[in-house]
Amino acid sequence: MLTQVGIVGAGPAGLVLSHLLARDGIESVVLESRDRDYVERRVRAGVLEQGTVDLLKATGVGARLEREGLVHHGIELRFEGQAHRIALSELTGGRAITVYGQQEVVKDLIAARLAAGGRIEFEAAAVGVDGLEEDAPVVRYRQGGQERQLRCDVVAACDGSHGVGRESIPAGAIALYETEYPVAWLGILAKVAPSTEELIYSYSQGGFALHSMRSPTISRLYVQCRPDDDPASWPDERVWSELHARLAMPGFALAEGPILEKGITAMRSLVVEPMQYRRLYLAGDAAHIVPATGAKGLNLAVNDVRILADALVEWYRSGRDDLLRGYSAACLRRVWRVQHFSWWMTQMLHRFEGESEFDHRLRLSQLRYVCSSRAAATTLAENYVGLETV
Ligand code: FAD
Ligand code: PHB
């Protein structure tokens, strides 16, 4: 197979890239190791920044998002049994977030690509990228029990945190910066109307909890757990009892419902620098991971491919490669800002094993400051809705 841009991975990064390129007449093939049903059902992120929503709408894939997405103008921070609202829109000149499931974004993008004649190969797992030294990249992949090849001008590795794109870069050509947090999240999707209108980030004696949602009838909730926990050690009763305890506040009642999905997510931070090697470009989780506390991973992935698409359009149009050469530097400014914000939110909202009462009291002071100082609240708000410039 032959194409202009070979894209590995049909997550948000790969699909948005393919969509943006097609709008400028650039051909791509997306290789995805899973089947269509699997990627359309995989429950992950839910918070879209203003900029992400604007891009999806402006490029013609925002119709359902506009109808079904829940626009939120604030979030709640809850601690010491009290609720504090961070007025996102008021603090950011009217910007907001939209709650809309990642798998819905993925569904909309797949439908749009296929309707426009785009090529997405499902159950096609990339195994490696050759020809990088010769500037003639070839993606080797397995499909239907056979090894196949995709020849292209450039490769975009949008294959997530465990992809093969990054492994195709010679050791020594990139550096990895990472840190792990000694906490994880157990997330559930429950068939029950949300008990809150806005997201609640709660810090309690027992640890962190988050009340989010997907629709007026589906709630998404998380509790801090240990990274080595097994979902089996979290039967439904334990999940609900921890959620009740950690979200407790006078006058607040948490409604329970059947649990439709349950999973554990590690909290870690990783940045790959640079995010490119010759004609291979890394985008999204393939290049960086952020802990979910800041709700940033999907948004960062979309930002990368917006920059990559612009650079590729310029290269194909005029032969100029300065934007492509500057791709990594252009992305990394936002990547590191978001890393810091996500790390800060994670530190502020979790209890860590072995920490002292001193740490706990510092955290409470930080939370009180964020909720009482307009300057501090604005810092949280402008990062949370997504900074316009970094
Ligand atoms: P992915 O979505 O991981 O897509 C990569 C794709 O590549 C996958 O479809 C995979 O199957 C495919 N693939 C992998 N290897 C190969 C291969 N060898 N060959 C072919 N295909 C391959 N982010 C937010 O912005 N807001 C949130 O609220 C938020 N909440 C989250 C909650 C949870 C529980 C989790 C787990 C994540 C959350 N995130 C959130 C992060 C967000 O989901 C990711 O950052 C996002 O999915 C990154 O998109 P991506 O396209 O880079 O990678
Ligand atoms: C979600 O709705 O899944 C969600 C919301 C906020 C986060 C992380 C995940 O910080």
Distance between Cα 45 and ligand 2 center (Å):
6
- Omega before residue 274 within 30° of 0, cis: yes
What integer is the mean pLDDT of 37-60? 96
For residue 192, count other CB atoms closer than 10 A to its CB.
Answer: 17
Ligand that comes closest to the CA of residue 168: 1
Confidence of residue 25 (pLDDT cuts 50, 70, 90): very high
Q: How far is the CA of 203 from the centre of ligand 2 (A)?
A: 15
pLDDT at 1 over 90: no
> What proportion of the chain, given as a percentage, has pLDDT over 70?
100
The pLDDT > 90 percentage for the chain reads: 98
Which two structure tokens, joined as six digits, stand for 166? 């990054």
Q: What average pLDDT does the structure give for the chain?
A: 97
What burial letters (b/e) apply to 202-233, b meaning 16+ CB within 10 Å? bbbeebbbbbbbbbeebbbbbbbbeeeeeeee
In the predicted model, is pLDDT for residue 373 greater than 90? yes
Are 230 and 138 within 8 A, CB to CB?
no
Pocket lining: 254 vs ligand 2, CB cutoff 6 Å:
no
Residue nearest to atom 2 of ligand 2 (CA): 46
Sign of the alpha-carbon dihedral angle for 364, 368, 370, 376: negative
pLDDT single digits (tens) 264-278: 999 999 999 999 999
118-157 per-position pLDDT tens digit: 999 999 999 999 999 999 999 999 999 999 999 999 999 9
- How far is residue 240 from each of residues 91, 209, 235, 349, measured CA to CA in Å? 34, 11, 9, 19
Distance CA 82, CA 209 (A): 14
Based on DSSP, count helices (H) and strands (E) in the chain, helices before strands: 12, 20
| Ligand positioned closest to the Cα atom of 76 | 2
Task: Give the Cα separation of 352 and 55 in Å (integer).
Answer: 37
* Average pLDDT estimate for 87-103: 97
* Average pLDDT value for residue range 363-380: 98
**Atom in ligand 1 nearest the alpha carbon of residue 163:** 15
